[in-house]
Amino acid sequence: MKHEDIHLASAEGVGNKVVLFGARTGGDGIGGASILASETFEDGVPAKRPSVQVGDPFMEKVLIECCLELFAADVVQGIQDLGAAGISCATSELASNGSGGMHVWLDDVLLRDPSLNAGEILMSESQERMMAVVRPEKLDEFLAITGKWDIESSVVGEVNDSGRLTIDHHGERIVDVDPRTVAHDGPVYDRPYHRPSWMDTLQADRASFPLPATAAELRESFVTLLSSPNMAARDWITSQYDRYVQGNTAASRPDAAGVIRIDESTGRGVAIATRSNDRFTKLDPYEGARQSVAAAYRGVAITGAEPTAVTDGLNFGSPEDPDSMWQFAEAIRGLADACQELGVPVTGGNVSLYNGTGEPGRIDSSINPTAIVGILGILDDVARAVPSGWREEGQLLFLVGETRRELDGSELAAVNGHLGGLPPRVNLAWERELAQILIACSRDGLVDAARDVSEGGLAAAAAYGALRYGVGARIVLDEVCERDGLTPAQVLFSESQGRALLTVPRTEEPRFTAMLEARGVPFARVGVTGGDVLEVQGQFDVSLAELTEAWQAPLPARFA
């Protein structure tokens, strides 16, 4: 969008009307996010059971289109969506962001359930609702537009100069507060936290499972890895939604990054990648969170997009458990440090706490600390977005970056039932340089396909690249094994960060290698594309048909 078209969540202008529009307020989702985020999973403990919010995608789409027309007509002074804590949150944030105050008549809120009391009306998280601040002279035009879209609206309040947020219900004043004390200056917890006593033992438990050594063992590990729940195809889920609706999806990459066209006249678009590794964050919350940022950053750059902004989803145990609180604090520190070093701001996100069972202080008291990071990047022309798999035979495969003996917390460790040791090292300065290399390769047409090497290591990257368009490859590990002093299993399954698998046309090899040599970047030629088999030279081969079956079977087998 254009900067001048941005509409802020601010209640300005004495006498301006506060309009609630969209779906009616119901009993679904009362205290949903605000209460569910503080519930444990423990059996036998008295717990609040909030209703789940009932979403209506069609109504959501209509509401979006209505809002866009309201903006185009310039009839909105300020606007706020209704999310967690519903009306109570929307009114306090609007008033707090403004320079005056606000009065609300709760009786005028349109209800689906007339039996709701004042607290339930305030806290309901019914979906598809918006709250707008409208000048009196623009109100009729505002209501005409919402009426055109068959969206119900009601004036529920008015901006004033009291500096207070006041709310009345049935003639009784039920809220009278300084809005900043609710929206911005709320209480700050100072929870005690400490490094868990079990961390030393966990980190000392380095990858102790036997690595595959023979050709047969390598092949078995390879197929098992691709058929594990973490690595298996998500097509069974994603194909149930038409991701090409309206024709703006420029590249569907469910296992890498998505590319969306936002301007048909220029081809300008965005790439979006999400990454998370709860095992790495369990082993070291600080480094694990940094790794999630680095992996998503790399996942966007691999398309040729410039990483620009971050969102996150933080899922942790109880903050009342000092162990979980330490994990939470360390992960946030890691996210902040990584974003600052990479120069990408966090624009929003959410947090889910109390995801735990059992007694505090145990290694299994909660879920693995999980920091999900999404990064958005900008593409000047989506037509130049680099595909995530190779489509032609006879192209050269290059592995950029250094491979180390880093199997702790890896997918190979997970399928062997092991979790322990230290996560891979993260070098954010190198991640920035690698991103610039990837963007330059896209801009200059040096690569025809690219994949970041992350979960599952080189083995998974090669498999995904081949399966994407059904073109096989021969992988040669000798150069990397000799250069980095590794076994074939370590090269295939290590999850060292800061690596990419690139497909280079033979005609572009001189330019490509000259650029990397000039930068002093570690790289190795690791294969060539072609055929209907994925072969690791001197070790094993797997037909793409067998690999496809192993990759696509797990989710339907569990859920269909």
CATH of the domain at 423: 3.30.1330.10
Q: Are residues 57 and 94 in the same domain?
A: yes
pLDDT value, residue 47: 45
**What are the strands of the beta sheet with 17-22, ordered from one edge?**
78-81, 129-134, 17-22, 153-160, 101-105, 165-169, 172-177
- Nearest 5°: phi and psi at 130? -135, 155
Q: Which candidate, 375, 390, 122, 94, places its Cα nearest to that of 258?
A: 375
194, part of any domain? no
Dihedral sign, CA of 18, 22, 26, 30? negative
Q: Are residues 139 and 243 in the same domain?
A: no
Q: Is 295 exposed, middle or buried (0-12, 13-18, 19+ CB in 10 A)?
A: buried
pLDDT value, residue 39: 55
Consecutive 10-residue averages of pLDDT for the chain (560 residues): 83 95 87 54 47 78 96 95 90 92 96 93 93 97 97 96 96 95 84 96 90 96 94 85 66 71 86 95 98 97 96 95 96 98 94 87 94 96 91 97 96 95 96 97 95 95 95 97 96 97 97 96 97 97 96 89
At 158, the amino acid letter reads E
348, part of any domain? yes
Q: Are residues 80 and 205 in the same domain?
A: no
Q: Is 138 exposed, middle or buried (0-12, 13-18, 19+ CB in 10 A)?
A: middle
The answer to whether 71 and 7 are in contact (CB under 8 A) is yes
pLDDT value, residue 179: 93
Q: Which candidate, 315, 316, 317, places its Cα nearest to that of 358?
A: 317
105, part of any domain? yes
Q: Are residues 177 and 204 in the same domain?
A: no
Q: Are residues 165 and 217 in the same domain?
A: no
Give me the CATH number covering residue 119: 3.90.650.10
Rounded-to-integer distance, Cα 137 and Cα 143, Å: 11
Range of the domain at 151: 3-183
pLDDT value, residue 239: 78
In eight-state DSSP terms, residue 52 is: P
pLDDT value, residue 50: 47
Q: Are residues 99 and 162 in the same domain?
A: yes
Dihedral sign, CA of 358, 360, 365, 367? positive
Q: Last residue of a domain, which of 148, 183, 218?
A: 183
pLDDT value, residue 35: 52
- Nearest 5°: phi and psi at 51? -70, 150
H, E, C per residue of 77-143: CEEEECCCCHHHHHHHHHHHHCCCEEEEEHHHCCECCCCCCHHHHHHCCCCCEEEEEECHHHHHHHH
Q: Are residues 211 and 173 in the same domain?
A: no
Q: Are residues 164 and 223 in the same domain?
A: no
Q: Are residues 145 and 248 in the same domain?
A: no
188, part of any domain? no
CA dihedral 393, 395, 396, 398 (to 10 degrees): -100
192, part of any domain? no
**Helix/strand/coil percent split, the chain, to 5:** 40, 20, 40
CA angle 257, 260, 265 (to 5 degrees): 145
275, part of any domain? yes
104, part of any domain? yes
Q: Are residues 136 and 165 in the same domain?
A: yes
pTM equals: 0.86
Q: Last residue of a domain, which of 183, 217, 233?
A: 183
Tokens at 413, concatenated? 């460790």
Q: Are residues 165 and 266 in the same domain?
A: no
The answer to whether 421 and 289 are in contact (CB under 8 A) is no
Tokens at 344, concatenated? 């990408």
pLDDT value, residue 196: 97
How many CB atoms within 10 Å of residue 293? 29
191, part of any domain? no
The answer to whether 308 and 261 are in contact (CB under 8 A) is no
Query: What's the domain count of the chain?
Result: 2
Q: Are residues 253 and 149 in the same domain?
A: no
pLDDT value, residue 251: 64
pLDDT value, residue 33: 54
The answer to whether 314 and 281 are in contact (CB under 8 A) is no
